[in-house]
Amino acid sequence: MNKMNTETLYQHGTLAMLVPGLLAGTLSVADLLKHGDTGIGTLSGLNGELMIIGGVVYQMAADGQIRVVGPKEMVPFANVHYAKQEPTTKLTNVDYAQFQQAALDQIGTENIFAAVTVTGKFTRMHTRAVGEQVSPYPTLAATAEAQQEFNATAIDGQVVGYFSPELYAGVVSPGFHLHFLSSDHVMGGHILDFELESGEIAIQPFQNFDLHLPIDNNDFRREHFNSRQVIADIRKAEH
């Protein structure tokens, strides 16, 4: 694959793997960054929320701390792509539902993967981060007990994430999966809700989806997945 291929979304692992508690990291951050400079994910043990901007990986932890992640740290799940300069559209005074509709209108179809980035000023931002889990790992649904939520008002920052088709439910979380990092790096996480005062949105569509699986991981090889339960738990955990 061309190192700077801007037409491909790379994903390590699947969200389905997290549902029964396959939370151990199976790819290093250094290897992840060989496939993109922008994206989202989580660390081993579901330790916080990751946001990747310009090749720098930031962790938003459950204690509210934000730090730069080292190259040897491991991820069980992440998406990355090489950012391409795309036209931006200005949005003003929209809530989260209105934002998602505006983004989907720009994507133009519900049947492709697309990166969504926003830089702007938010009237309100509501995020969450999951605390680090230890082995033997709990199920994804059980990790909700270790989730911390954060709220901020009148905050500047950047949103990075993806729209994924319903067809790939289980491999991904269908719909929008977005993370936030404030401009001053003091607040962030997995987005639950927001109101955007003003900002610029850019959409980067992908014609290729590159899925990388941890085929040498014994827990993954032995697991028997229940697709119906997987999708139900993903919707509960991610939205």
Q: Count of CB atoms within 10 A of residue 232's CB?
A: 13
pLDDT at 2: 47
When pLDDT is cut at 50, 70 and 90, the band that residue 234 belongs to is confident
**pLDDT score for 3:** 62
Contact (Cβ atoms closer than 8 angstroms) between residue 173 and residue 238: yes
Q: Compute CA distances 227 → 14, 143, 163, whole Å.
A: 12, 19, 21
**Over the stretch 57-69, which tens digit does the pLDDT of each residue have?**
999 999 999 999 9
Domains in the chain, start-ordered, CATH in brackets?
8-238 (3.30.1330.80)
Measured at the alpha carbon of residue 24, what is the angle toward residues 53 and 208, in degrees to the nearest 5?
50
Cβ atoms of 43 and 171 within 8 Å: the answer is no
| Residue 64 DSSP one-character state | S
pLDDT in tens, 80-101: 999 999 999 999 999 999 999 9
* Sign of the four-CA dihedral 55, 60, 61, 67: positive
pLDDT tens, residue by residue, 211-233: 999 999 999 999 999 888 888 88
pLDDT at position 239 over 80:
no
Per DSSP, the residues of 97-119 read HHHHHHHHHHH--SSSEEEEEEE
Model pLDDT for residues 136-154, shown as the tens digit of each residue:
999 998 998 889 999 999 9
Cβ count within 10 A of residue 152: 18
**DSSP code of 55?**
T
Residue that has been written with the tokens 């916080």 in this structure: 48
Q: For residues 125 and 235, which has the higher predicted lDDT (pLDDT)?
A: 125
Rounded to an integer, what distance in angstroms lies between the CA atom of residue 104 and that of residue 113? 11
In this model, does residue 32 exceed pLDDT 60? yes
Residue 115 is which amino acid? A
Counting DSSP H helices and E strands in the chain, the numbers are 5, 14
Q: What is the mean pLDDT of residues 150-172?
A: 97
Residue 60: what pLDDT?
99
